[in-house]
C-alpha cells in the first residue's frame, strides 16, 4: 500500500475497499457497483491480503448462490418451491394494488409479480415505489390458487445500502488529509485513478457529484462519447437514478394525476437524463414546460396543488462536433433537441461541464488503490444535502455587481457543492476558497456565454470576483482563452464593457492569446501562464524564435528520465534543428539532469539515442547527472535564461504509440498541464540581487 492507502485504512477503517476488487467479483452479474461494493465492504474492508482473498471468495459465493440471472429465473422459482425458502439478490419494485388494498412487489430478474409486501417495509423504503431498488430478499413458497395472487411469500426484504452513517466521523477523518489527498480520495472512490487526471479534470469529476450533495441543482455535461459522463449516475449511489434515452413522461417524473402518485423527483436525490442530446429527438412540450418551472422554483403543479421537491437534475449527452466547430459556427448547446435549445431552459442550468476536456476512458485509468466503499460516500453526500456553504466565500471576496440573480444562484450552488465535497467541515483557507470560487464562476459562465449567442435580450455581465478592497479578477472559460477572436464573434449583441477590455491584465489565465500569436515573438521578457487542458501549444511556439541561430543550449531539468520525458527532449531537439544556422560553428546542447534510480540503463540508452539522432546534423549533444538540481531552465547562448516551472514535461498523457493519432504527430493538439514560462535576458538575471 502507498501512503494514502495506509492513511485511508487508519482513519476510515471498515469503510474503504480496494477498487479493483469489483471487477474480480462481478463476473457476469449485471449489478451496479454500489451493490458489489456493499458486499465487498462487509467482507473485504481490510488491508490484510489473506482476509481480502477470503472475502472475495465469500462475495463470489454469495453472488453465485443468491444473484438472480434472468435466464435462470424459472429454475430459481422451482428451487424456491422445492426447498421452501431461498435468499435472492434482485431489483425489486413495489406498487399499490388499490383493489386488494395492499402493496405488491415485482422482482425484475426473477420475473415474479404480485408478491405481498407489508406496509412497514414500504414506509421505511419509499424508493421501492419508484423504479425499484436492489435488495436482498428472503422468499418462500406457499401454493395459492387465487387469481392475481402470487404463491411466493416475502419473509424479509433489505435494501442494499448502509444502515447507519455518522457525518461527524466523516468530517473528523477528513481533517487528517491534505486538500490534494482528499480530492484524490473522492476521485478514487468514483472508480478512476487520480494519477491519470490533471487538477481541472479532477474538479470536473467532483462537479459530477454535486447533484448528490446539493439540493435542486441543475447540471449539464455534453461532450464526446466514452468519457464516463453517465457512470456516476448509474453506478455510484443508491440515492440517484439514471433515465436511459433521456425521455420521460410528466407522470413518471413529477406526478400521476390519475392516482396522485409522486414521481421520480419526489423520491430520489438525483435524477439524471442519459443520452439527452440529439436534434432528432422530439420530447413533448408539456414535459419541458413543467421541467423549466421545477428547475426555477423547486415545485410543480398537481391540479390546483403546488408540490415541492428537492431532487437535483443532471443532463448528459454526446456532441456531434468538436468544441472548435461549436465555438466558430454554432453554440455549445447546438446538439440539444429543439425544445431544449431554449433560453428559458438553458438559463436555469447552474453549471455546464465541458465533456471535451475529459479523456476517453482507457483501461489504465481505473483505480486499483483504496477508496471509499461507494455506499459510504453516497451516504456522506446525502448527509450533507441539508448543509449550506454557499456564502463561505463572502468573508474574503465579493462578486461583480453586474451578475444577474440566476448567475449568482448558480455560482453559489456550484461553490457550495464543491465545498461539501472538498471541505465538508465548511472551513478552508482563503487560497482554497478562491480556487473553488473561480471554478464555480467558470461553470456558470459557460452557460451564460452561450445565451448571448441564442438570445439578444440577455445583457452582458462580468464574471469576476475580487478580494474585498482589491482589483477585479475576470474568470474566462478555457474555450474563451483558446479561441479569443471567435468566442464572442457570434454573440447576437456585442456589449463588451470597458472592464472587459482591461481583463487581460487581471485574467486568471491569459496565456491562450499569447500562444495563438506565438509567445513573445519579439523576444520580450515576461511571464506567460498556461491553463490545464489547454491546447494549441508546442515547443516551436514556446522556444522557436529564441533558438534562431543559437550556438549553445544548456537544459537543466532534473526529470529527464523516463521514456516520455526523453521523448519531450527529442521534440525540443527537433525544434532546434529547424532553427540551426549552418553557417556557424557546430552547435552544442548540454543536458543537466538527475539519474533514474529505478531504471538507469534505459535512461542512458534514451539519451544516447538522442545523441546518435542529432549527430548527423553536426550537433554535439552531451549530458551530466547532478542530484542536487531543483530549478528548471533553458539557457540559450549567453542571451536568454528561460525558466520552466515544469521543465519539458508539460503535456498530459496521450498515446504516443498510435501513429494515426493527431496528438502523436502534432504537439499543438495535445492537452497540457498547468505551467508557466518566464523569459529573462541573461544580463537581467545577472543583475538580480
The whole domain housing 151 covers: 70-159
Nearest to 18 by CA among 43, 237, 229: 43
**Percent of the chain, pLDDT > 70?**
93
Which pLDDT does position 493 carry in this prediction?
67
Tell whether 32 is covered by a domain.
no
Total domains in the chain come to 3
421 and 494 fall within a common domain: yes
Q: What's 152's domain CATH number?
A: 2.40.50
Q: What is the mean pLDDT of the chain?
A: 88
- For the cut 50, the answer to whether the pLDDT of residue 506 exceeds it is no
Q: What's 655's domain CATH number?
A: 3.30.870.30
198-214 per-position pLDDT tens digit: 999 999 999 999 999 99
**Percent of the chain, pLDDT > 90?**
57
Tell whether 405 is covered by a domain.
yes
452-462 per-position pLDDT tens digit: 999 989 989 99
φ, ψ (nearest 5 deg) of residue 400: -65, 135
609 and 639 fall within a common domain: yes
CA torsion angle 115 118 121 127 (round to 10): 50
530 and 655 fall within a common domain: yes
Region 83-93 average pLDDT: 91
- For the cut 80, the answer to whether the pLDDT of residue 685 exceeds it is no
Of the pLDDT bands very low, low, confident and very high (cuts 50, 70, 90), residue 607 is: very high
Query: Pick from 464, 482, 508: which residue ends a domain?
Result: 508
436 and 548 fall within a common domain: no
Region 326-354 average pLDDT: 94
Query: Pick from 128, 159, 190: which residue ends a domain?
Result: 159
215 close to 388: Cβ distance less than 8 angstroms: no
3-class DSSP state of 209: coil
Tell whether 528 is covered by a domain.
yes
Region 105-116 average pLDDT: 92
What's the CA gap between 95 and 114, in Å, rounded?
9
HEC profile of 68-122: CCHHHHHHHHHHHHHHCEEEEEEEEEEEEECCCCEEEEEECCCCEEEEEECHHHH
Of the pLDDT bands very low, low, confident and very high (cuts 50, 70, 90), residue 236 is: confident
494 and 565 fall within a common domain: no
672 and 575 fall within a common domain: yes
Region 405-419 average pLDDT: 97
Sign of CA dihedral 296, 243, 95, 120: negative
Region 465-494 average pLDDT: 90
- Return the DSSP state at 214: S
CB within 8 A of 204, min separation 6: which ones? 353, 354, 357, 358
What's the CA gap between 179 and 369, in Å, rounded?
18
Quote the pTM value. 0.80
105 and 128 fall within a common domain: yes
Which pLDDT does position 307 carry in this prediction?
86
142-192 per-position pLDDT tens digit: 887 777 778 899 999 988 877 678 999 999 999 999 999 999 999 999 999
What's the CA gap between 350 and 408, in Å, rounded?
9
497 and 545 fall within a common domain: no
249-286 per-position pLDDT tens digit: 888 888 877 777 788 898 899 999 999 998 888 888 88
Among 56-65, 397-406, 514-523, 626-635, the range scoring the smallest mean pLDDT is: 514-523
Tell whether 421 is covered by a domain.
yes
What's the CA gap between 689 and 677, in Å, rounded?
21
Look up cell 406457499; give the residue.
Answer: 142
Look up cell 477572436; give the residue.
Answer: 485
Tell whether 25 is covered by a domain.
no
106 and 130 fall within a common domain: yes
Which pLDDT does position 295 carry in this prediction?
94
Tell whether 138 is covered by a domain.
yes
480 and 538 fall within a common domain: no
619 and 659 fall within a common domain: yes
495 and 523 fall within a common domain: no
Tell whether 303 is covered by a domain.
no
Of the pLDDT bands very low, low, confident and very high (cuts 50, 70, 90), residue 450 is: very high
- Return the DSSP state at 355: G
Which pLDDT does position 163 carry in this prediction?
63
CB within 8 A of 414, min separation 6: which ones? 207, 210, 350, 351, 439, 440, 441, 443, 444
- For the cut 60, the answer to whether the pLDDT of residue 70 exceeds it is yes
pLDDT greater at residue 93 or residue 162: 93
Of the pLDDT bands very low, low, confident and very high (cuts 50, 70, 90), residue 660 is: confident
Q: Are strands 255-256 and 261-262 parallel, antiparallel or unpaired?
A: antiparallel
How would you class 505 by CB atoms within 10 Å of its CB: exposed for 0-12, middle for 13-18, buried for 19 or more? exposed
Amino acid at each position: 500500500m502507498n501512503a494514502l492507502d495506509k492513511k485511508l485504512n487508519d482513519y476510515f477503517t471498515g469503510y474503504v475497499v480496494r477498487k479493483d476488487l469489483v471487477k474480480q467479483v462481478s463476473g457476469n452479474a449485471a449489478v451496479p457497483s454500489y451493490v458489489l461494493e456493499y458486499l465487498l465492504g462487509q467482507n473485504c474492508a481490510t488491508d490484510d491480503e489473506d482476509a481480502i482473498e477470503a472475502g472475495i471468495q465469500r462475495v463470489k459465493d454469495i453472488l453465485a448462490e443468491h444473484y438472480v440471472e434472468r435466464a435462470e429465473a424459472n429454475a430459481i422459482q422451482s428451487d424456491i418451491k422445492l426447498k421452501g425458502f431461498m435468499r435472492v439478490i434482485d431489483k425489486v419494485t413495489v406498487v399499490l394494488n388499490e383493489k386488494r388494498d395492499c402493496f405488491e412487489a415485482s422482482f425484475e430478474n426473477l420475473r415474479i409479480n404480485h408478491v405481498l409486501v407489508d406496509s412497514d417495509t414500504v414506509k421505511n423504503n419509499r424508493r421501492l415505489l419508484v423504479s425499484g431498488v436492489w435488495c436482498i430478499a428472503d422468499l418462500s413458497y406457499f401454493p395459492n390458487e387465487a387469481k392475481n395472487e402470487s404463491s411466493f411469500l416475502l419473509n424479509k426484504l433489505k435494501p442494499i445500502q448502509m444502515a447507519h452513517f455518522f457525518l461527524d466521523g466523516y468530517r473528523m477523518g477528513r481533517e487528517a488529509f491534505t486538500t490534494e489527498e482528499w480530492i484524490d480520495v473522492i476521485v478514487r472512490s468514483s472508480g478512476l485513478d487520480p494519477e491519470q487526471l490533471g487538477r481541472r479534470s479532477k474538479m470536473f469529476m467532483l462537479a459530477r457529484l454535486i447533484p448528490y450533495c446539493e439540493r435542486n441543482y441543475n447540471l449539464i455535461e455534453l461532450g464526446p462519447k466514452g468519457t464516463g459522463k453517465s457512470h456516476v449516475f448509474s453506478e455510484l449511489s443508491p440515492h440517484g437514478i439514471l433515465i436511459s434515452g433521456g425521455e420521460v413522461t410528466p407522470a413518471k417524473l413529477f406526478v400521476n394525476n390519475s392516482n396522485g402518485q409522486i414521481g421520480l423527483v419526489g423520491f430520489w436525490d438525483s435524477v439524471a437524463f442519459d443520452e439527452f442530446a440529439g436534434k432528432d429527438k422530439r420530447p413533448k412540450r408539456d414535459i419541458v414546460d413543467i421541467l423549466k418551472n421545477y428547475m426555477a422554483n423547486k415545485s410543480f403543479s398537481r391540479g390546483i396543488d403546488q408540490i415541492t421537491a428537492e431532487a437535483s437534475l443532471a443532463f448528459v449527452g454526446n456532441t456531434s462536433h468538436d468544441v472548435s466547430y461549436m465555438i466558430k459556427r454554432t453554440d455549445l448547446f447546438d446538439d440539444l433537441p429543439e425544445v431544449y435549445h431554449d433560453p428559458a431552459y438553458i438559463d436555469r442550468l447552474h453549471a455546464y461541464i465541458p465533456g471535451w476536456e475529459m479523456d476517453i476512458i482507457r483501461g489504465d485509468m481505473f483505480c486499483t488503490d483504496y477508496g471509499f466503499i461507494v455506499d459510504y460516500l453516497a451516504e456522506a453526500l446525502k448527509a450533507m444535502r441539508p448543509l449550506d456553504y454557499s456564502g463561505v466565500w463572502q468573508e474574503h471576496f465579493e462578486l461583480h455587481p453586474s451578475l444577474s440573480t440566476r448567475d449568482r444562484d448558480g455560482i453559489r450552488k456550484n461553490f457550495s457543492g464543491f465545498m461539501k465535497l472538498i471541505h465538508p467541515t465548511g472551513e478552508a483557507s482563503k487560497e482554497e476558497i478562491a480556487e473553488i470560487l473561480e471554478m464555480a464562476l467558470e461553470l456558470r459562465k459557460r452557460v451564460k456565454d452561450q445565451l448571448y449567442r441564442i438570445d439578444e435580450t440577455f445583457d452582458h455581465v462580468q464574471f469576476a470576483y475580487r478580494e474585498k478592497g482589491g482589483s477585479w479578477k475576470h474568470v474566462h472559460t478555457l474555450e474563451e482563452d483558446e479561441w479569443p477572436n471567435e468566442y464572442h464573434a457570434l454573440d447576437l449583441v456585442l456589449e463588451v464593457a470597458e472592464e472587459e477590455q482591461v481583463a487581460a491584465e487581471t485574467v486568471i489565465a491569459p496565456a491562450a492569446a499569447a500562444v495563438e500569436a506565438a509567445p513573445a515573438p519579439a523576444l520580450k521578457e515576461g511571464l506567460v501562464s498556461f491553463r490545464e487542458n489547454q491546447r494549441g501549444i508546442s515547443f516551436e511556439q514556446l522556444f522557436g524564435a529564441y533558438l534562431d541561430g543559437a550556438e549553445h543550449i544548456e537544459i537543466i531539468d532534473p526529470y529527464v528520465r523516463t521514456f516520455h520525458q526523453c521523448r519531450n527532449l527529442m521534440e525540443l531537439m527537433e525544434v532546434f534543428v529547424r532553427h540551426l544556422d549552418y553557417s556557424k560553428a557546430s552547435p552544442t546542447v548540454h543536458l543537466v539532469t538527475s539519474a533514474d534510480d529505478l531504471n538507469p540503463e534505459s535512461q542512458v540508452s534514451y539519451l544516447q539515442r538522442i545523441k546518435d539522432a542529432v549527430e548527423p546534423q553536426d550537433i554535439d549533444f552531451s549530458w551530466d547527472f547532478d542530484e542536487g538540481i531543483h530549478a528548471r531552465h533553458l539557457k540559450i547562448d549567453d542571451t536568454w535564461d528561460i525558466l520552466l516551472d515544469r521543465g519539458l514535461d508539460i503535456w498530459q498523457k496521450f498515446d504516443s504509440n498510435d501513429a494515426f493519432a493527431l496528438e502523436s504527430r502534432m504537439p499543438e493538439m495535445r492537452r497540457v498541464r498547468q505551467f508557466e514560462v518566464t523569459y529573462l535576458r541573461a544580463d537581467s538575471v545577472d543583475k538580480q540581487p
